[in-house]
Amino acid sequence: MTKKTVFILMLTTLLFACQKGKDSTEIKIDKLISEMTLDEKIGQMNQLTGMGLSDDMKEQLKNGRVGSILNEVDVNIINELQRIAVEESRLHIPLIFGRDVIHGYKTIFPIPLGQAASWDPKIAETGARIAAEEATSVGIRWTFAPMVDVSRDPRWGRIAESCGEDPYLTSVFGAAMVKGFQGDKLSDSNSMAACAKHFAGYGAAEAGKDYNTTWIPDVQLRDVYLPSFKAAVDAGAATFMCSFNDINGVPSSGNKYLNRDILRDEWKFDGMLVSDWGSIDQMISHGVSANLKNAAAKAIEAGVDMDMMALAYITHLKKLVEEGVISEKIIDESVRNILRVKFRLGLFENPNVKPDSNAFYKPEAIAAAKYAAEESAVLLKNNNLLPLGSSFKTVAVVGPLADAALEQFGTWSFDAEPAHAVTPLKAITDMYGKQYKIIGEPGLVFSRDSNATGITKAVAAAKKADVVLVFAGEEAILSGEAHCRADISLPGLQNQLISELKKTGKPIVLVIMAGRPLTIEKQINESNAVLYAFHGGTMAGPALADLIFGKVIPSGKLPVTIPRMVGQIPVYYAHKMTGRPGTNFVTIDKIPIGVFQTSLGNTSFHLDAGDKPLYPFGYGLSYSTFEYSKVKLSAKTMEKNGKITAECTVKNTGKFDAKEVVQLYVRDPVASLARPVRELKGFEKILLKAGESKTIKFEIDATQLGFWHEDKTYYAEPGEFQVWISKDSQSGEAVSFKLK
């Protein structure tokens, strides 16, 4: 046997031994990559928007120059495009079809911010599962959701897509959505790849303006903006998406620290990272790339696997390899991540979809959407008016959102069908029209309407009624991507409408349907009862009807703070304590003329708003009432690696069987870095019958007490900690323990 033969045998044996311990999917990927040309590799990294069955698209598929298509929803076209990719391309690699399926495909659930108001992660999981079942029936196997950006600025249009201002609540809901979209097994034909977005810090955009810059210290980034993304990784999210913003001067699409150091190296994420639409190209506008070629180099070096609609990779990567600017090895790494997702989705085994004409609006989906809308509504005020009883005979239903099917879907509901939406006016008429006389008179045609003609008719209707239901808020177009507002009050003449209705002396129930918290203090003061319903989706009408008339008891809690006025923003519960906390407020209208400059004291507050929001995070009333006992701890001292239990007995002291969200907060009052005044660390939604009590227990360990330090380490510091079990982020009495 020659030395050459011996060497070949040894090499073969070594390769076999290496492969033997390797995952079978990885072996398949190795083989496929070894057979691919550089052009075919780059083709996998190219995502295009749908062009139907155009000759150009067909040609690109045959040549292996497209890896994914988004925004194609015709199942026959999808199947034909997939057939071309699988049967007519050289390597038969299937496509992955993507779509923004955010809070429903056909059956629309409340916007994510509304779902978070339910404080029931199962609602988010169920909504995502139904969305996946409907969307996959036409071949969509990848959704660009959940959005897990922590969002503390209601001016930002995309707060509607978020789960609010808190890292813990967002983490829990984001993980639930990932599970719902991806199902028990990603390769199942009715499962779709989730995409955690936008990585990262997008919710901190300056001025609440979309695509805007962010500047976030590393400890804040890790404490506030990254936990929800880590939770998505832990939940098994198949894909991630870069954010549009720059963070500390570096756009996310070119950010090695985020995409490689944290996402890949720290968190061991092995899925696919896709750019947002054109975000690689937009590094030119950011001022960090001179041209598209340079932007392509920055993005691939930063670890962006797939280019969504910038055409940067397909145009420039090959040349960059030939010039030695980037290595083909780095391209192989991205192609591996893309192929891995396709294998995990089962696309190589089952690339085509069997159309299902009965996939949409199933009875169980409609019931789940109604339940989600019921649980998502937050009762902010109730002067013993709700639920409406039999003493009221005639009900006036007014406001621009009372009968606006399209608007109740909210943002990112591209595939919704208004014909299937049930509006509040229709639901109240159909469900309660036999018990009450219903008068419908909108007053305003749409939320931005500045024509006062209809207000007179609405006032006339109110005068004939015993109670007035006002459905006010925002049209869907006023929130979502690129739909940011500097003035977040009710648009149009809605404020005038409510004031004129108030003058009639009739009791007013104000229902807000919106994509964000609005500054509505005056309108709340003019109303006897207020329900904040966000955009509730397909079944918003029936849900609100049953809530108003008492068949369902409100149980939602705010996932985000509601400010008194826009000038308070950013305002959120988990703020740091200042050196001079606000005390002894003297409001601007009560300052004596000519008073000495320092006579009011020198503390931290606004002269015209104080230092408190209109409603705090976690707030929400019920038709029943709840009493909380004093919190008990299992010990006064916690060992470094130990645990303690905090418990509280909650009693339903009202007349209705009702649900309550019991919330756990902690504070580290003295630390090496200033810590928030409270941080949510747990919650439980419970159902209590009238008069029933239940003891709720939360387990606390040092992991929950820790925070990130400037040396990029996470740990809890010894000392005193405070604990609350309360109904919202501002109530309750603290108890203390010490961590050794």
Rounded CA gap, 38 and 57, in Å?
20
SS3 of the chain: helix, strand, coil, percent, to 5? 35, 20, 45
Question: How many angstroms from the chain centroid is the CA of residue 458?
Answer: 36
To the nearest whole percent, how much of the chain has pLDDT over 90? 94
pLDDT of 460 above 80:
yes
Rounded CA gap, 605 and 612, in Å?
8
Rounded CA gap, 44 and 307, in Å?
10
- Which stretch of 45-59, 74-88, 572-586 has the lowest confidence by average pLDDT? 572-586
- Partner residues linked to 69 by β-bridges: 48, 97
pLDDT band at 408 (very low <50, low <70, confident <90, very high): very high
Tell me the pLDDT tens digit for each residue of 326-370. 999 999 999 999 999 999 999 999 999 998 989 999 999 999 999
Largest separation between any pair of C-alpha atoms in the chain? 107
* Distance set, CA 403 to CA 91, 446, 466, 489 (Å): 53, 10, 20, 21
Mean pLDDT across the stretch 490-494? 98
Rounded CA gap, 480 and 440, in Å?
29
Rounded CA gap, 123 and 129, in Å?
10
pLDDT band at 20 (very low <50, low <70, confident <90, very high): low
Write phi, then psi, for 735 (nearest 5 degrees): -120, 160
> Running DSSP on this structure, what letter comes out for residue 348?
T
- Which stretch of 172-181, 203-212, 506-515, 585-594 has the lowest confidence by average pLDDT? 585-594
Residue type, 22: K
Q: Is 257 buried (19+), middle (13-18) or exposed (0-12) by CB count in 10 A? A: middle
265 is catalytic: no
Write down the residue that tokens 């690689």 correspond to: 280
Residues in the chain: 740
Tell me the pLDDT tens digit for each residue of 260-281. 999 999 999 999 999 999 999 9
Tell me the pLDDT tens digit for each residue of 602-612. 899 999 998 99
For 256-290, give the secondary structure using H, E and C.
Answer: HHHHHHHHHHHCCCCCEEECCCCCCCCHHHHCCCC
- Please, what are the domains in the chain? 365-548 (3.40.50.1700), 626-739 (2.60.40.10)
Going by their DSSP bridges, the two strands 142-143 and 96-99 should be labelled as parallel
The neighbour count for residue 74, using CB atoms within 10 Å, is: 14
Mean pLDDT across the stretch 368-381? 98
Question: H/E element holding 455?
Answer: helix 453-464
pLDDT of 51 above 60:
yes
Q: Check if the beta carbon of residue 201 is closer than 8 Å to that of residue 225.
A: yes
pLDDT at 601: 85
Write down the residue that tokens 């804040």 correspond to: 220
The neighbour count for residue 38, using CB atoms within 10 Å, is: 14
Tell me the pLDDT tens digit for each residue of 534-553. 999 999 999 999 999 999 99
Q: Residues 6 or more apart from 413 whose CB is under 8 A from it? A: 102, 103, 104, 108, 476, 537
pLDDT at 598: 85
Q: Residues 6 or more apart from 364 whose CB is under 8 A from it? A: none
Smallest CA-to-CA distance from 577 within 665, 663, 725, 678 is with 678
Tell me the pLDDT tens digit for each residue of 308-324. 999 999 999 999 999 99
pLDDT at 587: 86
pLDDT band at 225 (very low <50, low <70, confident <90, very high): very high
pLDDT at 2: 53
pLDDT band at 248 (very low <50, low <70, confident <90, very high): very high
pLDDT band at 19 (very low <50, low <70, confident <90, very high): low
Tell me the pLDDT tens digit for each residue of 632-651. 999 999 998 999 999 999 99
Name the catalytic one among 276, 307, 415, 668: 276
The neighbour count for residue 245, using CB atoms within 10 Å, is: 26
What tokens appear for 413 in the block? 């509901």
Smallest CA-to-CA distance from 610 within 571, 560, 667 is with 571
- Which stretch of 441-450, 505-514, 582-591 has the lowest confidence by average pLDDT? 582-591
pLDDT band at 30 (very low <50, low <70, confident <90, very high): very high
* Distance set, CA 138 to CA 70, 413, 592, 644 (Å): 13, 16, 68, 50
Mean pLDDT across the stretch 496-514? 98
pLDDT of 730 above 70:
yes
pLDDT at 21: 67
**Helix or strand or coil: residue 577?**
coil
Q: Residues 6 or more apart from 493 whose CB is under 8 A from it? A: 444, 449, 450, 451, 452, 455
pLDDT at 357: 83
Residue type, 526: E
Smallest CA-to-CA distance from 338 within 300, 306, 368 is with 306
Write phi, then psi, for 676 (nearest 5 degrees): -60, 155
Rounded CA gap, 296 and 311, in Å?
9
Going by their DSSP bridges, the two strands 46-49 and 307-308 should be labelled as parallel
Tell me the pLDDT tens digit for each residue of 95-112. 999 999 999 999 999 999
Residue with the larger pLDDT of the pair 583 and 689: 689
Smallest CA-to-CA distance from 667 within 568, 733, 619 is with 733
> Running DSSP on this structure, what letter comes out for residue 108?
P
**Helix or strand or coil: residue 151?**
coil
Q: Check if the beta carbon of residue 254 is closer than 8 Å to that of residue 289.
A: yes
Q: Which stretches does DSSP call E strand in 384-501?
A: 394-398, 437-440, 467-473
Tell me the pLDDT tens digit for each residue of 651-679. 999 999 999 999 999 999 999 999 999 99
Rounded CA gap, 472 and 491, in Å?
9
Rounded CA gap, 246 and 200, in Å?
9
Going by their DSSP bridges, the two strands 394-398 and 378-382 should be labelled as unpaired
Rounded CA gap, 684 and 694, in Å?
12
pLDDT of 439 above 70:
yes
pLDDT of 130 above 90:
yes
pLDDT at 5: 44
Sheet (strand 637-638) strand order: 637-638, 735-739, 719-726, 658-667, 679-688
Residue type, 389: G
pLDDT at 4: 46
| Average pLDDT of the chain, as a whole number | 96
Rounded CA gap, 686 and 247, in Å?
40
Rounded CA gap, 149 and 214, in Å?
13
Question: Helices (H) and strands (E) in the chain — how many of each?
Answer: 22, 27
What tokens appear for 19 in the block? 């492969």
Q: Residues 6 or more apart from 299 whose CB is under 8 A from it? A: 253, 254, 275, 280, 283, 307, 312, 313
What tokens appear for 192 in the block? 């779709």
